Amino acid sequence: MDRQPFSVQPGAGKLVDLGGVGVHFKVRGGQTGGAFAVVEHPVAPATIVEPHLHEHEDELSYVLEGVLWARVGDQEVDLSAGSYLWKPRGVLHSFWNPGPDPVRILETISPAGFENFFEELADLISQPTPPDDERVYELCGQYGLTFDRSWLPELESRFGPMQMV
């Protein structure tokens, strides 16, 4: 990396769809010497990101529009536009949009690298033949990502069925 300043214009960056959650790449780790990456996540109504934890990175989310619900460890919050949410590595977390309006968040990932997972997952699930769960979980393991679905029944009983990403 040559440590040169850069800018990102509105709408710039690759956009991939993970089915209910998008990933709009804004700042790549290669641009920051691996210090951090930034992505935008549009989250469709009635969508939940499966409860998970990261072994290697912390995440800081900023709600750009809409109302996002989240649980980090034992803390559950609803976050309106302008709110921040810290999700430290090693702590189980999830976020969801019970609807009815779309949500958009800006996510800073530190250190960088995990943004590549989103791109690899999008490539994997966009194949003509959907991958088996084993291949998806293998990819997750390569990035130190693990899951725990124990929260899902209680969340669905309160918010209704949601598409899981």
pLDDT in tens, 122-154: 999 988 888 888 999 999 999 999 999 999 999
pLDDT in tens, 87-130: 999 999 999 999 999 999 999 999 999 999 999 999 999 888 88
First CA to last CA distance, the chain: 33
| pLDDT score of 20 | 95
Does pTM surpass 0.85? yes
| pLDDT score of 16 | 96
pLDDT in tens, 18-67: 999 999 999 999 999 999 999 999 999 999 999 999 999 999 999 999 99
Total domain count, the chain: 1
Write the CATH number for 91.
2.60.120.10
CB proximity list for 28: less than 8 A, separation 6 or greater: 37, 112, 115
| pLDDT score of 157 | 95
| pLDDT score of 18 | 95
Phi/psi at 10 (nearest 5 deg)?
A: -55, 135
| pLDDT score of 132 | 86
Place 2 in a pLDDT band, splitting at 50, 70 and 90. low
| pLDDT score of 107 | 98
Q: Is the pLDDT of residue 161 over 60?
A: yes
CB proximity list for 79: less than 8 A, separation 6 or greater: 61, 63, 67, 68, 69, 70, 85
Place 3 in a pLDDT band, splitting at 50, 70 and 90. confident
Neighbours of 165 (CB within 10 A): 19
Domain that holds residue 67: 15-164
Q: Is residue 6 a part of any domain in this protein?
A: no
Q: Is residue 148 a part of any domain in this protein?
A: yes
